[in-house]
């Protein structure tokens, strides 16, 4: 930058020097020609006055020599004229260069050096240093851009620190996916221990549920490791054809909380989904409803509408604030009306990710008396009427 600036100064100076020299030469030459013309006129008058009556002139030779001298530049005159032009141009160029140098240094070099030092501080990670925005220098816009970048870096660093801090709690946060099957295992184990059911078939059913919940815990534990490594994209999705009415009843039976009300029968349809991941999605929605709408009724229903299979999990709590709705499914984001409810903003993020992998979609709709979480899947060749 400095070399280019100095090169530009020298080029501008050279052009200015040529212009000044040309102008001075032209003006000096004009004066010399005018002076010669006057002298030649006077010499002609002298020639006429010195002539004899017969037309001869005893001083004719001297007059002719003087006339030739006036028509030609003498070496001494040329040298003197060149020196004058050179000195004059040199003085003009000197003052011009000094003015240009100080002006450019003040307006360009000094702000550039300040900007360079500022960039060096940012490169070192020192984001506390600020740079004043000066509209009068050529780097005013760059100054604003650099300071804006510093502010963005500060915000990005804060977000990174927050994400790192939150990432440390991922294992504890995702444990809410494990609490429900563990609670079920404990409940059925205590029932077996207390001999609440003496019938063989009932005890076998309890044992079957316990084994199933153990498998769920194993799967969720594996997912927990992946989440803790920030490798959610490695989550396995194993799709197969399932009957939605049967699968939904089995899933909801496993999560038969006291406040959950099932609107059965569910509509019949065959979809290609991962049953285990679908159960994880519904469990997350039920847990969110129980956590953020405690003590209210939670309704689970399904319907087929407009070529889509819809699963509704509706609570009667406070819902989601409108300003939070665009961001509520982002990682680590929590609504402003969550109060003291525990959580880290991963539940809905996991739900939306799993549904995306299964070509599904989550829609959240606020109502006057709560929130309706709608899970939708596209259907092919299904009746368009509403089935409840």
List pLDDT tens digits, range 23-48.
666 666 666 666 666 666 666 766 66
Residues 6 or more apart in contact with residue 228 via CB below 8 angstroms? 167, 170, 171, 174
> What number is the average pLDDT over the span 1-11?
59
Whole-angstrom Cα distance, residue 192 to residue 207? Answer: 9
- The listed range with the strongest mean pLDDT (113-122, 174-183, 199-208, 367-376) is 367-376
Q: Place 193 in a pLDDT band, splitting at 50, 70 and 90.
A: confident
Read off the pTM.
0.46
> What number is the average pLDDT over the span 148-161?
79
Between 104 and 75, where is the model more confident? 104
Cβ-based burial of 156 (10 A; exposed 0-12, middle 13-18, buried ≥19): exposed
Cβ-based burial of 334 (10 A; exposed 0-12, middle 13-18, buried ≥19): middle
Classify the C-alpha dihedral 205-207-209-211 as positive or negative: negative
Asked if residue 314 lies in contact with residue 370, where contact means CB atoms within 8 angstroms, the answer is: yes
> What number is the average pLDDT over the span 335-354?
79
For the ranges 144-148, 152-156, 347-351, the lowest mean pLDDT is seen at 144-148
Token duo for residue 12: 């501008």
18, 256, 306, 329 from 356: Cα distances, Å: 73, 26, 20, 12
Q: Which fold has domain 237-388?
A: Heat Shock Protein 90 (3.30.565)
Summarised one tens digit per residue, pLDDT across range 315-336 is 998 899 989 899 888 877 888 7
Please report, to the nearest 10 degrees, the dihedral formed by the alpha carbons of residues 320, 325, 331, 334 taken in order.
-30
DSSP summary character for residue 264: P
∠ CA 382-385-388, rounded to 5°: 100
Domain ranges of the chain: 2-136, 237-388
Does residue 294 surpass a pLDDT of 80? yes
> How many other C-beta atoms can be found within 10 angstroms of the C-beta atom of residue 48?
8
Residues 6 or more apart in contact with residue 178 via CB below 8 angstroms? 217, 220, 221, 224
Between 112 and 28, where is the model more confident? 112
Q: For the chain, what is the mean pLDDT?
A: 76
Token duo for residue 365: 């709709």
DSSP summary character for residue 144: H
Helices 2-49 and 75-104 sit at what angle, rounded to 10 degrees? 150
Summarised one tens digit per residue, pLDDT across range 227-273 is 554 556 667 889 999 999 999 998 888 776 778 899 889 999 999 99
132, 310, 335, 342 from 323: Cα distances, Å: 34, 25, 9, 21
Quote the pLDDT of residue 54: 67
């Amino acid at each position: 930058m400095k070399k280019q600036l100095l090169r530009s100064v020298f080029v501008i100076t050279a052009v200015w020097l040529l212009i000044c020299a040309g102008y001075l030469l032209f003006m000096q030459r004009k004066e010399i020609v005018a002076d010669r013309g006057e002298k030649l006129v006077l010499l002609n008058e002298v020639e006429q006055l010195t002539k004899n009556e017969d037309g001869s002139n005893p001083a004719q030779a001297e007059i002719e020599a003087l006339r030739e001298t006036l028509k030609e530049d003498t070496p001494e005159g040329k040298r003197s004229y060149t020196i004058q032009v050179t000195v004059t141009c040199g003085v003009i160029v000197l003052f011009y260069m000094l003015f240009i140098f100080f002006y450019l240094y003040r307006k360009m070099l000094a702000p550039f050096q300040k900007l360079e030092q500022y960039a060096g501080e940012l490169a070192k990670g020192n984001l506390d240093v600020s740079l004043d925005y000066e509209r009068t220098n050529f780097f005013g816009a760059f100054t604003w851009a650099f300071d804006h970048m510093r502010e963005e870096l500060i915000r990005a660093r804060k977000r990174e620190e927050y994400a790192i801090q939150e990432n440390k709690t991922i294992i504890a946060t995702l444990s809410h996916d494990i609490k429900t099957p563990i609670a079920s295992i404990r409940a059925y184990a205590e029932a077996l221990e207390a001999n609440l059911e003496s019938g063989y078939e009932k005890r076998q059913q309890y044992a079957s549920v316990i084994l199933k919940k153990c498998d769920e815990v194993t799967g969720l534990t594996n997912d927990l490791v992946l989440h803790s490594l920030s490798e959610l994209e490695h989550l396995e999705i194993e799709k197969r054809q399932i009957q939605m009415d049967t699968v939904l009843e089995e899933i909801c039976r496993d999560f038969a909380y006291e406040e959950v009300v099932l609107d059965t029968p569910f509509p019949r349809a065959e979809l290609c989904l991962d049953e285990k991941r679908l159960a994880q999605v519904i469990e997350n929605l039920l847990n969110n409803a129980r956590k953020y709408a405690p003590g209210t009724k939670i309704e689970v229903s399904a319907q087929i509408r407009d070529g889509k299979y819809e699963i509704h999990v509706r609570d009667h709590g406070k819902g989601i604030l409108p300003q939070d709705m665009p961001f509520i499914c982002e990682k680590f984001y929590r609504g402003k009306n969550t109060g003291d409810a525990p959580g880290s903003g991963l539940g809905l993020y996991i739900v939306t990710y799993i549904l995306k992998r299964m070509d599904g979609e989550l829609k959240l709709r606020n109502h006057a008396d709560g929130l309706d979480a709608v899970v939708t899947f596209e259907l092919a060749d299904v009746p368009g009427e509403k089935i409840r």
